[in-house]
Amino acid sequence: MTPTILVVDDEPDLEILVRQRFRKQIREDVMRFEFAQNGVQALQKLDEHQDISMVLSDINMPEMDGLTLLEKIGEKNDPCLKSVIVSAYGDMENIRTAMNRGAFDFLTKPIDFEDLETTISRTLRQLEVLKQATHEREQLLSVKNDLSTAARIQQSILPQTFPPFPHRKEFDIYAQMVPAKEVGGDFYDFFFLDEDRLAFVIGDVSGKGVPAAIFMAVSRTLLKAIATQVVNPGETLRRINTMLIPEGNGRMFVTIFYGVLNTRTGDMQFSYGGHPPPYIKRSDGAIEPVTHEGGFLLGMVEGMEYDSHKITLKPGDTILLYTDGVTEAMDHDSQLFETVRLEESFRRSNGAGLKQMLQTIQTDLAGFSNGAPQTDDITMLVLQYKGKN
C-alpha cells in the first residue's frame, strides 16, 4: 500500500514546495500527500483518510497548535501512525515537549528538503517494520485462537464424563490427558462392544501440535470403527496399521495398547504395538507389569502382525495404562521420572479412588519435575475390575 503523509502547516507555500520536491514519487505513486493548515483540519483529514501513516506538523499554528495535535494523535493509540514535528531552530523547549508527547522525530526551520526526504524515508522504513510486526502479531493471535479452538475440540472428542457408565457396577474407569502444547498426539478411549465386553485404548502419536492431533483423531476413529467388527485385538491392530500407513506418509506413527475386558468374568484380551506395557495392581497391593511381548508401532511398516494375549483380572485388581510422557518426564537436570518412580507412585495410591490414584501420580510428577517444562503429552488411564455383583 502506498504510504500517505499528512503535512500540517499554515504556510500555503509549503504545499507547493513539497509537491515540487516529491513530484517524481507522487507521479510514480511511491508516496501520497494530504495537506492541512492547522490541527483541527489535520484531525479531520485523519478521520477521512485511514491510510495516513505519517504526520509532518508545524508547532505554531492557529486554532490548534502542533503540540495539542500530538496529544490528540497519541489518544488514537495507533503504533503505525508516526509524527514528525517542525519547529524553529533553537526552540528546544517545544521540541523536547513534542518528543515527550510522542513525536518520532523533528525538523528545524527553514526546512532542508534533503533532510526532510531522509527523515521521511527513515520514518516510513520504521513504519514498515512496525506494520509487519503488527501483521505477524495478528497472525500469531489468530493461530493461538485457532489452537485454543482445536484444543477444546480435541478434549471434547475424548471421554470427559466420569463415571462414564454409572449403572455398571462391575468396573470403574478414569482417564486424563495433559498435552504439552495446546493440542497433543496422545489419546484414550473406552466403549462397549456388547453387553459384557468393554474396549479400552491408549495411544501416543509421534510428534506434537496440530499434525499429531490430526493423526491422533484418525487413529482413534479407525480403532473404534474396526473394533466393532473384529473380535481379536491383534487383528484389530493389524488392520489399523495397514490403514494408517498412507495417512502417516512414512513420517508419522502411533503406539497403542488396546484391551477388551469381559466385565462378567474378568478375562482381558489385549494387544499392543510399540507402547509401554501397563501395570496391574492386585487387590493385595502388589504391583506387576504386563510383560507380554508387544508388536511394532503402527503406521510405518506394512504387513506387521500383532499378537493377542489374555490375562484375568480378579475383583479389586486395577490396571494402569500410560504414555511415555509419564516415565520420560524430566527434571531440571534432564533426569527421567522412569518406571521405578511410576511403580512407587502407583503403589502408594493403594486404597484410593481412581481419580485420586492419577492425582497422586500427577503430584509426584510435578514434584519430580519441580517446574521443568513439560516436553511430552502426559496421558493415563486406570481401570479397576470389581466383579459381577
CATH of the domain at 362: 3.60.40.10
Q: Does residue 150 lie in a domain region? A: no
Is pLDDT at 1 greater than 80 in this prediction?
Answer: no
> Helix, strand, coil: what percent of the chain each, to 5?
40, 25, 35
Q: Does residue 147 lie in a domain region? A: no
CB-side exposure of 219: number of CA atoms within 13 Å? Answer: 34
The confidence score (pLDDT) of residue 112 equals: 86
**More confident: 103 or 147:** 103
- pLDDT tens digits, one per residue of 210-253: 778 888 888 998 999 999 999 999 999 999 999 999 887 778 89
Neighbours of 51 (CB within 10 A): 10
The confidence score (pLDDT) of residue 98 equals: 87
Using an 8 Å Cβ cutoff, are 94 and 73 in contact? Answer: no
181 — pLDDT class (breaks 50, 70, 90)? confident
The confidence score (pLDDT) of residue 352 equals: 72
The confidence score (pLDDT) of residue 143 equals: 54
CATH of the domain at 12: 3.40.50.2300
Q: Does residue 47 lie in a domain region? A: yes
The confidence score (pLDDT) of residue 152 equals: 67
- Three-class secondary structure of residue 349 per DSSP: coil
Q: Which residues contact 48 (CB under 8 A, 6 or more apart)?
A: none
The reply to whether 199 and 298 lie within a common domain is yes
The confidence score (pLDDT) of residue 312 equals: 96
Q: Does residue 321 lie in a domain region? A: yes
The reply to whether 109 and 200 lie within a common domain is no
Average pLDDT, the chain: 89
The reply to whether 320 and 221 lie within a common domain is yes
The reply to whether 96 and 167 lie within a common domain is no
The confidence score (pLDDT) of residue 215 equals: 84
The reply to whether 131 and 163 lie within a common domain is no
Q: Does residue 145 lie in a domain region? A: no
The reply to whether 97 and 62 lie within a common domain is yes
Residue type, 259: G
The predicted model gives 73-101 an average pLDDT of 85
Least confident of 30-44, 47-61, 202-216, 345-359: 202-216
Length of the chain (residues): 389
163 — pLDDT class (breaks 50, 70, 90)? very high
The confidence score (pLDDT) of residue 367 equals: 95
Q: Does residue 117 lie in a domain region? A: yes
Is pLDDT at 105 greater than 70 in this prediction?
Answer: yes
CA distance 289 to 319: 9
The confidence score (pLDDT) of residue 303 equals: 92
Q: Count of domains in the chain? A: 2
Q: What is the pTM of this model?
A: 0.67
Helix runs in the chain, H state only: 12-21, 23-27, 39-48, 66-75, 92-100, 113-157, 209-227, 233-248, 324-327, 338-348, 354-369
- pLDDT tens digits, one per residue of 301-314: 999 999 999 999 99
The confidence score (pLDDT) of residue 147 equals: 57
Is pLDDT at 127 greater than 90 in this prediction?
Answer: no
Q: Determine phi and psi for 270, rounding to 5 degrees.
A: -155, 160
- Domain range holding 263? 159-385
Is pLDDT at 140 greater than 60 in this prediction?
Answer: no
Q: Does residue 143 lie in a domain region? A: no
The predicted model gives 94-98 an average pLDDT of 87
Which of 83, 104, 136 is where one domain is finished? Answer: 136
The confidence score (pLDDT) of residue 145 equals: 62
The reply to whether 213 and 308 lie within a common domain is yes
Residue type, 126: Q
The reply to whether 130 and 191 lie within a common domain is no
Q: Is 338 left (phi over 0), alpha (psi -120 to 50) or beta?
A: left
The confidence score (pLDDT) of residue 130 equals: 77
